[in-house]
Amino acid sequence: MSDGIWRTGPRHTTTSLLLGRAESDPDSEYLDVCGTRLSAAEVVDQASRLAASLVELGVRPGDRVASLLENSPEALIGWWAAQWAGAVAVPINTAYKGEYLRHQLRDSGASVLVVADDLADRLESVVAGLEDLRHVVVTGPRRRTFGGLNGHLLADLLAGSALPAPVERHPSDLATFVYTGGTTGLSKGCMLSHNYHEALARQIGYSWGRTERDVLWTPLPMFHYNALVTAVVGALVYGGRAAIYRRFSVSNFWPEMNRTGATLTSTLGTMAYLLAHDVDRPEMPRSGAPEANTSLRMMGAAPLPPEVDDVIRGRFGIQTFSGAYGVTEASLISWQPPGVPMRPRSAGVINTEYFDVRIFDDNDDELPRGTDGEIVIRPKRPHVMFEGYWGRPETTVETSRNWWYHTGDIGRIDADDYLYFVDRKADYLRRRGENIASFEVERIIMGHGQIADVAVHAVPSKLTEDDVKVTATRKEGATVTEEELFRWCVDALPYFVLPRYIEFRAELPRNPVGRVLKRELRAEGVNDQTWDAEAAGVTYEKR
> Residues 118-152: pLDDT tens digits?
999 999 889 988 999 999 999 989 888 888 898 99
Model pLDDT for residues 169-228, shown as the tens digit of each residue: 999 999 999 998 644 457 899 999 999 999 999 999 999 999 999 999 999 999 989 999
Neighbours of 314 (CB within 10 A): 9
- As a whole number, mean pLDDT of residues 391-420 equals 95
pTM: predicted TM-score of the whole model, two decimal places: 0.84
**Does 519 have pLDDT greater than 90?**
no
Counting beta carbons within 10 angstroms of the beta carbon of residue 146, is it exposed (0 to 12), middle (13 to 18) or buried (19 or more)? Answer: buried
Q: For 340, which DSSP code?
A: P
Domain boundaries, the chain: 14-194, 219-231+244-423, 436-536
125, 133, 79, 69: which is closest to 106 by C-alpha? 133
pLDDT in tens, 317-354: 899 998 899 999 999 999 999 999 988 889 999 999 99
Helix axes 438-445, 482-492, angle to 10 degrees: 110
Omega prior to 219 cis, within 30 of 0: no
Query: Could you tell me which residues come within 8 angstroms of residue 468 by beta carbon, excluding any fewer than 6 positions away?
Result: 429, 431, 436, 441, 456, 457, 458, 459, 497, 498, 499, 500, 501
Worst-scoring range by mean pLDDT, 42-51, 307-316, 494-503? 307-316
Q: Please state the rounded mean pLDDT for residues 11-26.
A: 97
| Third-level CATH fold of 436-536 | GMP Synthetase; Chain A, domain 3 (3.30.300)
User: What b-and-e string marks burial along 210-221, b requiring 16 or more CB atoms within 10 Å of the CB?
Assistant: beeebbbbbbbb
Residue 293: per-residue pLDDT: 66
Coil vs helix vs strand at 407: strand
Q: What is the DSSP string of 231-290?
A: IIIHHHHS-SEEEE-SS--HHHHHHHHHHHT-SEEE--HHHHHHHHHTTT-TTS-TTSGG
Strand-pairing partners, residue 112, are 65, 135
Sign of CA pseudo-dihedral 218, 222, 226, 227:
positive
| Alpha carbons 276 and 263: distance in angstroms, whole number | 18
pLDDT for the residue 514: 64
Q: Which amino acid is at 258?
A: N
CA atoms of 323 and 223, how far apart (whole Å): 23
3-state SS, residue 89: strand
Q: Three-state DSSP class for 408? A: strand
- Checking if the pLDDT of 256 tops 90, the result is yes
How does DSSP classify residue 120?
A: G
At residue 256's C-alpha, the angle toward residues 252 and 260, to 5°, is 175
Closest CA to 73 of 19, 154, 143: 154
Please report the pLDDT score of residue 464 as a whole number. Answer: 65
Domains 219-231+244-423 and 436-536 share a fold: no
219-231+244-423: CATH architecture: 3-Layer(aba) Sandwich (3.40)
Residue 324, helix vs strand vs coil? coil
Residues in the chain: 543
pLDDT of 315 higher than 90: no
Tell me the average pLDDT of the chain.
90
Check whether 280 has a pLDDT greater than 80. no
Contact call for residues 435 and 447 (beta carbons, < 8 A): no
Check: CATH 3.40.50.980 for 14-194? yes
246, 70 contact by CB (below 8 A): yes
pLDDT at residue 511 tops 90: no
